[in-house]
Amino acid sequence: MDAQRALLDELMGAARNLTDEEKKGYREIKWDDKEVCAPYMIRFCPHDLFVNTRSDLGPCPRVHDQKLKERVYSLSFENSPRHDSYVPRFEAELAQFCEKLVADLDRKVRRGRERLDQEVEPPPPPPISAEKAEQLSVLEEKIKNLLEQVESLGEAGKVDEAEALMRKVESLNLEKAALTQQPQNAATMLTQEKKMALCEICGSFLVANDAVERTQSHITGKQHIGYGMVRDYLAEYKEAKEKAREEERLAREKEAEERRKQREKENESKNRRSISSERDRHRDRDYGRDRERSREWNNRGNRDEGRGMDRRRQYDRNGRDGGRSTYHGRERERSRSRSPVRHGHRR
């Protein structure tokens, strides 16, 4: 019947049976409305855990609707495309609620532990009455006399008689112990009967040496199970958050390492480019020097060639002039060689 009603609600809406007048003020609730209990949607609502217990939180002020939660309904939270984006928000709200409950419970546990620690030892036994004191005095005197007799009989070698007196001494000692120790034993038994223990999960007081059935009944009780669920969820949530923070830290470190390696690669590439550029500059500078040197050699060669041409031209001129002078010199020498003959003939 409930399944059929839920199916009709899904197909026709929850307001299918309302009158037109009632529909005017009706607003269909969706899973993401503020009126809906987020802890109930994601896991459980603490208000549902302690009903009819000493830790009862009362009814939840927000809506608990199964058709807004479970996957069997098409418009439910579990079928919504926004489910994953809302999960962290709902988990954080439930964790905050559980953290408050655990903090209150831990304060209660500390107070209970302090109460147990403050329990004093049983009071000393009341003073012995005058009648008991007189009885003890008489017993002690008898024991003393008997011990003296035992000692004398032992020295006389009367062992049997000495043993008989020792048995009387032992009997008197038992009477003495009964008069002095009976009230203390009663107080100790009373303390053992009232020995209490404290449950660290739910903060309940227990009898330390209680029967197994009562202890099992406490463990399977609604309050103990409820606080166990609260503590387990809070520990699970904190562990998941710590794991997420650790993964985020590792991711940041990995990203930083990758950036460092990328910078090293970029610096190495820049260094290679710088070295290559420096090499190119040296090569260009050497090439410029070579060109300059070549130009100088060419200019020097041109100058030398020019000077050679000048020397050749000068040589040529000298050669021609020299030839002419030589010719005239030879003519003059011939004339001189002939002239003495003439002069001698004339003489």
Element (H, E) at 263: helix 222-346
Query: Which whole number is the average pLDDT over 46-72?
Result: 89
pLDDT at 124: 60
- Domain residues of the chain, as ranges? 1-121, 130-194
Regarding predicted confidence, which is higher, 198 or 335? 198
Element (H, E) at 220: none
DSSP per-residue letters across 138-153: HHHHHHHHHHHHHHHH
Give me the amino acid identity at 283.
R
Q: Hey, what are 220's tokens?
A: 């399977």
Interval 68-117: pLDDT, tens: 888 766 678 888 889 899 999 999 999 999 999 999 999 999 998 888 88
Determine the Cα–Cα distance for residues 92 and 89; give it in Å rounded to an integer.
5
Give me the amino acid identity at 51.
V
- φ, ψ of residue 30 in degrees (nearest 5): -110, 165
Does residue 9 carry a pLDDT above 50?
Answer: yes
Element (H, E) at 56: none
Residue 205 forms beta bridges with which residues? Answer: 198
Regarding predicted confidence, which is higher, 321 or 48? 48
C-alpha angle 88-92-97 in degrees, rounded to nearest 5: 155
Q: Tokens 């003059």 sit at which residue?
A: 332
pLDDT at 187: 45
Interval 254-306: pLDDT, tens: 999 999 999 888 888 888 877 777 777 767 676 666 677 777 776 666 655 55
Q: Hey, what are 315's tokens?
A: 């040589």
Q: What is the chain's mean pLDDT, rounded?
A: 76
SS3 content of the chain, % helix, strand, coil (to 5): 75, 0, 25
Query: Which whole number is the average pLDDT over 18-45?
Result: 79
